[in-house]
Amino acid sequence: MKYPTALLFGCALIASVFSAENKSPATAATSAHAGAAVQWIAFPDSRLELRGLPWFAENSPELWRLPKSAKPRIPKGAWARAIAPDGGRIRFTSTTSRLALRVEVVSTQKKLAYFDAYVDDQPVGSAGSTGPKTTELVLFADRDGRSKNLTIYLPNTSEVRVLAVGIDPGATLTVPPPFAAPAPLMCYGSSVLQGTGAEHPSKTYPAVLARRLNLDFVNLGFGGAGKAEPDVVALVNQPDACGYLFDLGKSYGAQSEEAFVKMLATIRAKHPAVPILCVTPIYSTNEPKDKAYFEKSVRLRNMMRDAAVAQRNAGDRNIHVVEGLELFGPADQDLFRDPQHPNDAGNERMGERLVDLVRRLVLNRN
């Protein structure tokens, strides 16, 4: 399978919008200081659509990615990462000329937890805060008063709470337009899929892919804990989905193929015709330097590919292999944040390379 050269859609615009936030915490974590000039809407509110967090009704006000009732049976590694709202988004349509947030960063961390704002799928601002503390952030100001579709991407890899959303007094507030599919793209895997190397939550490759195709998505990437454990897979399998994107990467470890094969069978038993895309591990700059790491990478690529191909040969025409080395390979090594994880631009490239494939296999398959 060959992929087209990445188009890096919107990179220049994103760089300019986000440049201030990348300078220092002082510029990124801007307090609104707007007082009565901002109408604060307590969150949650029925007019503020929350996407990407299927169990929020159970977890509220926590923005966790797995249901709190499942915590006793979820492996500690997965749960420790599930408390961050990766892939979570707040959506609404409004005539507001400004957008502010009152947030609490729960995690004790020096890393900025970024909130990214998009208007009609174009980046317009970003602000972040360290924690633990409560702060008010301005995502944008001084825009026109026309009706606009707004999306706020919640931070990746940081536990936060949203306390209120700030808009102009008297601005309209209505539901946003629907997605291109009635159910989300369900993404499960490890650190690359979660977006560990991405600084901004809107730049993880599932977010880029979903935004380009107007798809809802759920990001169940769990750092180094994407191991296809039955209790985790049962939750991945619970919500309806328009497609499944599995990118377990190197975190699958030294397991045999049994867990991976059982995961595919579990999904297929409940969702007999929903497309499944299996991504083999992408390139790592460790591979040329570490023989054992290289051999592990080759073994995992072969194991995941063979499992998907075997199911396809058995008659499942809706399971597909995405070769990780073609999705992000040696020619892309200038876009790594660390030896294993693509940076913002690298995630953008990965998302763009998947657009045509997912459009054909998920949106246009009928």
Residues of the chain above pLDDT 90, percent: 88
Q: Which two tokens stand for residue 18?
A: 């986000």
Condensed to tens digits (0 to 9), the pLDDT of residues 290-326 reads 999 999 999 999 999 999 999 999 999 999 999 999 9
Give the pLDDT band of residue 35 (cuts 50, 70, 90).
very low
pLDDT tens per residue across span 247-257? 999 999 999 99
pTM, two decimal places: 0.90
Q: Where does the chain have alpha helices with state H?
A: 11-18, 25-28, 56-59, 76-82, 191-194, 205-213, 230-236, 258-270, 291-313, 324-327, 344-358
pLDDT, tens digit, 9 for 90 and up, residues 340-365: 999 999 999 999 999 999 999 999 97
Structure-token match 């991407």, residue found: 153
- What pLDDT, on a 0 to 100 scale, did the predictor assign at position 111? 87
Query: Going by C-beta distance under 8 Å and a sequence separation of 6 or more, which residues neighbour residue 61?
Result: 43, 44, 161
- pLDDT at residue 172 tops 60: yes
Instruction: Say what the pLDDT of residue 365 is.
Output: 77
Does residue 342 have a cis peptide bond before it, meaning omega lies within 30 degrees of 0? Answer: no
Evaluate the CA torsion angle 9, 13, 15, 17 in order and state its sign: negative
Amino acid occupying residue 244? Y
Instruction: State yes or no: pLDDT of 11 exceeds 80.
Output: no
User: What letter represents residue 290's amino acid?
Assistant: D
DSSP 8-state class, residue 261: H
Contacts of 98 (CB under 8 A, 6+ apart): 34, 38, 138, 140, 141, 142, 143, 166, 167, 168
Distance between alpha carbon 144 and the CA centroid of its chain, in Å? 29
CA distance 298 to 280: 9
pLDDT beyond 50 at 32: no
273 pLDDT above the threshold of 80: yes
